[in-house]
Structure 1
Amino acid sequence: MSVQPLVSAGLHYAPAVILDQLGIVVVRTWLRDTWGAWSRDRQRIVIASGLSAVQERCVLAHELEHVYADDADCNSPVERIRQERRADLEAARKLIAISDLAEVAQWAADTYTAAAELRVTERLLEVRLNDLRGEGWPWRHQDGSRIAG
């Protein structure tokens, strides 16, 4: 999909609405080892049933990035990791606006509280903080990222 609708970022970012506008079907079902998957061939996203609203928002944002990139199933582990990291990073950038992050950083004592206020998972908050590393966010250890790569 080459055309992306104009959307707001941060707390107002609504990936479910965008997917609906794009005509991408979202199917909720039991999944054993993942929270979501994009099927380019079927033009649908499958997500795990039973996710919290925050988890579902984050999964849909991540899978929407696969839609935008027109990612296909990949047999190469290296390429698959690149696709997943890119989808995480782009989703985190859209879900967590710097203005929202700066506001929450003024009072939140930890990443758990900040993530809850930003309506994202702690993992995607960490992805965003790693993206902005060196910027002095209050919950970051200044010795660098704990994620390899």
Structure 2
Amino acid sequence: MSVTPLLLSAPTGLHYAPEAILEELGIPVVRTWLRDTWGAWSREHRSVVIASGLNSVQERCVLAHELEHVLADDGDCSDRLAAVRQERRADWEAARKLIAISDLAEVAQWATDFHTAAAELRVTERLLEVRLNDLRGEGWPWRRPGGSRIAG
């Protein structure tokens, strides 16, 4: 199955459903205890593993991030710099699909703080920050001073 028609017809923003896309691609999602991460893509096993116990917003964001690794066919990366680049790309692409500009603009009309905006957009504060930094943050009322402090 070609991924392109599936992605072109997939809604973005509040209606973006990464788990449904993974299902259509035949990629199983395994929920289990994880020590120091919320999720991982295993190219070798053709599956996504996510931490059990995540709330629905966290799970949606992790699945969107891991879906980007699937779409890029990322593998285990022993080169630290390449791994950081893969992680940043997955974050940027996931944030772009999870947070439509129209949804962001609508929430910006009334949300008074970062936490409320993230909750309304059904994303983690971290991915909202990634999206705002991607848009350079100009004019968004809750942009944190100093920008993002994430490494990947």
TM norm structure 2: 0.92
| Alpha-carbon spacing, 1:67–1:145, altered in 2? closer, same or farther (3 Å) | same
Counterpart secondary structure, 2:3: coil
Q: Which of 67, 70, 75 matches 1:67?
A: 70
1:147, distance to aligned residue in structure 2 (A): 3.2
Identity %: 74
Which residue is equivalent to 1:128?
Answer: 131
CA deviation digits over 1:104-141, x for unaligned, max 9? 00000111000000000000000000001143101125
**Distance in 2 of aligned mates of 1:8 and 1:58:** 15
Structure 2 unaligned spans of 5+: none
Q: Is the 8 Å Cα contact of residues 129 and 148 (structure 2) preserved in structure 1?
A: no
Which residue is equivalent to 2:79?
Answer: 76
Aligned length: 148
Q: Which of 33, 37, 56 matches 2:36?
A: 33
| Alpha-carbon spacing, 1:146–1:55, altered in 2? closer, same or farther (3 Å) | closer
- Runs ≥4 in structure 1, deviation > 6 angstroms? none
| Alpha-carbon spacing, 1:26–1:135, altered in 2? closer, same or farther (3 Å) | same
The residue identity in structure 2 corresponding to 1:41 is: E
Which residue is equivalent to 1:3?
Answer: 3
Say whether 1:45 aligns with 2:48.
yes
1:31, distance to aligned residue in structure 2 (A): 0.1
1:145, distance to aligned residue in structure 2 (A): 2.2
The residue identity in structure 2 corresponding to 1:126 is: E
CA RMSD of superposed structures (Å):
1.6
